[in-house]
Amino acid sequence: MKIGFIGLGIMGKPMVKNLLKAGHNVLAYDIVAANVKDVADAGATGAASVADVAKACGLIITMLPNGPQVKEVVLGAGGVLEHAASGTIVFDMSSIAPGVAQEVNAACAEKGVRMLDAPVSGGEPKAVDGTLSVMVGGDEAAFNEVREVIGAMAASVVHCGDIGAGSTTKLANQIIVALNIAAVSEALMLSTKAGVSPEKVFDAIKGGLAGSTVMNAKVPMILDGNFKPGFKVDLHIKDLANALETGHQVGSPLPFTAAAMEILQNLRADGFGQNDHSAVAKYYEKLTNSEIRR
């Protein structure tokens, strides 16, 4: 099966390269020509448009910034639905609101195109090494058809339920990650101000109940003052906006999520929107005029 891949950003490029390493034939497109050249140099075939991908591929993977871009690529003029054959699977790995996934799926169903919403967790490092966690919503039979392909990019691929379930699961993930980074930053600033080494605190607690994958990934970055993006503050703002919108729609209050959102918005206002979300530590550094460092 020829695999179409649309969206070759910080996540999409390494994901395509892992598909290529697994021996898959990939036709790739992005609005940035340099991104297409990058994956073409690695062995993919570059496409000139979304239409070219839709005409040629029975499986189309999308990895786009947000819901509006997914709607444009799939539903818009010259988009996937205008050119895809009946039976095509659209495997959307973007992080979008569940309601958008359901809206796009309804339009796909009218054309005989099958859609799965399948956002990922793990950021750039896990996209590079092919160990992403993928959470999938939609028809289970369609999921089973493509599961092996998706495994080339992931260590965990879980079918979570009907269409929108993948996106809902990702929102839950992003809430937990944001609050975890905030809690870690707050706690390490406490230790810093109290004169206790934040590195020693990390070493002491990481193996206990407070330990987490988030802590292990982000504390070394904070201690080094390294905020090179693996997952940008601006993208986490987008995800929490989708979480808050969804919470309002379904009647689920999200007070801690709202607080985390205000921290991220403060970082964006201070010019740190393109930093890694571990830059939440900078918010606490600003409040205390102190740095959390080794």
User: Rounded CA gap, 197 and 189, in Å?
Assistant: 10
Please state the length of the chain.
294
- pLDDT per position as a tens digit, 225-255: 999 998 999 999 999 999 999 999 999 999 9
Structurally, what CATH architecture does the domain formed by 2-163 represent? 3-Layer(aba) Sandwich (3.40)
- Residue 111: the pLDDT is 97
Q: Which residues contact 21 (CB under 8 A, 6 or more apart)?
A: 130, 152
Give the predicted TM-score (pTM) of the model.
Answer: 0.94
Ordered by start, the domain boundaries in the chain are 2-163, 169-288
User: Rounded CA gap, 263 and 266, in Å?
Assistant: 5
Per-residue pLDDT of the chain (294 residues; tens, 9 = 90+): 799 999 999 999 999 999 999 999 999 999 999 999 999 999 999 999 999 999 999 999 999 999 999 999 999 999 999 999 999 999 999 999 999 999 999 999 999 999 999 999 998 889 999 999 999 999 999 999 999 999 999 999 999 999 999 999 999 999 999 999 999 999 999 999 999 999 999 999 999 999 999 999 999 999 999 999 989 999 999 999 999 999 999 999 999 999 999 999 999 999 999 999 999 999 999 999 999 999
- Neighbouring CB atoms inside 10 A of 208's CB total 7
Task: Please list the alpha-helical segments (H only) found in 111-164.
Answer: 123-129, 140-150
Q: Which are the catalytic amino acids?
A: 170
In this structure, which amino acid lies at residue 73? Answer: V
| Among 136, 169, 167, 170, residue whose Cα is nearest residue 150 | 136
State whether residue 45 is helix, strand or coil: strand
Read off the tokens for 159. Answer: 């079918």
Q: Strand locations in 95-199, DSSP E?
A: 114-117, 120-121, 132-138, 154-161
Ramachandran quadrant class, 94 (left: phi over 0; alpha: psi -120 to 50; beta: rest): beta
CATH fourth-level superfamily of 169-288: N-(1-d-carboxylethyl)-l-norvaline Dehydrogenase; domain 2 (1.10.1040.10)
Q: Are 162 and 115 in contact (CB under 8 A)?
A: no
